[in-house]
Amino acid sequence: MTAARTGDDIPDDFEEGVEIAALETQFDIVRYMRRKCEEYGLRYFLAFTLPGFEAEKLSAYSIVSNWPQEVLARYDALRMIRYSAGIRKLRVTTVPFSYDLQEWLGESNDAPESGDLRALMDTHGMRVGHFFPVHDALGNRGAILWSGENAALPRDDRLMLQMISVHLFNRLAEIGAAWKSGQVTLTEREVQCLSWTAAGKTSLEIAEILGLSEHTVNHYLNQVTRKLEAVNRTQAVVKAIRRGLIA
């Protein structure tokens, strides 16, 4: 975990906004957000549009995320979005707030079998969630959730993350990652596999680079091909580049 930053270390708001404005693709934003996690002593991020009351799965509203796939899959399988204190609060406030995710899951008495999800999140170090409500120029509401084991964010860090979250959500809207016709959302692993494919790597080479099995890489690439309604990986790469999903 990185040490808490001091006020003198915080980059100028204008410079941070300029850097975000220069991000051209969804993949660029993912890399930027990973870097910010490291800078602020956090581990995970999730940018999403605000789910409606009828929502069943969080993944359906996710724009970009580096959540472990097994955590998101289990979260959706239990339909935890129905019991989320964070989602409920986002519907009634525009002020940033934090939750101890472990305590919240423990209080979700109406959620069946939430204990195994709590253990899974604990294994991945998903203990505290910092929620930043955001909206784009058209009024579409959403949030950026930063999470990890860092329970207390210094005031300056919280203010900077709030500003960053606002800029990121608007940039995602500008590049059309969230609301374009024919929306497609890819997981971080899918983006990584497709990006290496675009670089000319084979499934075996990608597996060695990412520390996965060749079978797993093929699984991710097959999912991407189906999501993009492509006939093969080559066409999937072309479609992904046109949509701004990869560089």
pLDDT tens for 16-71 read: 889 999 998 888 899 999 999 999 999 999 999 999 888 889 988 998 899 998 99
User: What local confidence, expressed as pLDDT, does residue 178 receive?
Assistant: 45
CA distance 157 to 87: 23
CB 137 within 8 A of CB 171: no
User: What local confidence, expressed as pLDDT, does residue 12 receive?
Assistant: 59
User: What local confidence, expressed as pLDDT, does residue 19 receive?
Assistant: 93
**Which of 116, 57, 65, 67 is CA-nearest to residue 87?**
57
User: What local confidence, expressed as pLDDT, does residue 170 receive?
Assistant: 93
CA distance 51 to 38: 28
CA distance 243 to 247: 10
User: What local confidence, expressed as pLDDT, does residue 3 receive?
Assistant: 45
Tell me the CB-side half-sphere exposure of residue 233, using CA atoms within 13 A: 19
Report the Cα 52 to chain-centroid distance in Å: 19
Which residues 6+ apart lie within 8 Å of 242 measured at CB?
none
User: What local confidence, expressed as pLDDT, does residue 2 receive?
Assistant: 46
User: What local confidence, expressed as pLDDT, does residue 7 receive?
Assistant: 47
* pLDDT-flagged residues of the chain (< 70): 1-12, 102, 104-113, 177-183
3-state secondary structure of 175: coil
Question: What does pTM read for this prediction?
Answer: 0.68
CA distance 210 to 98: 32
CA angle 66, 118, 219 (to 5 degrees): 40
User: What local confidence, expressed as pLDDT, does residue 1 receive?
Assistant: 44
User: What local confidence, expressed as pLDDT, does residue 90 receive?
Assistant: 93
CA distance 220 to 14: 38
User: What local confidence, expressed as pLDDT, does residue 105 receive?
Assistant: 61
User: What local confidence, expressed as pLDDT, does residue 241 receive?
Assistant: 85
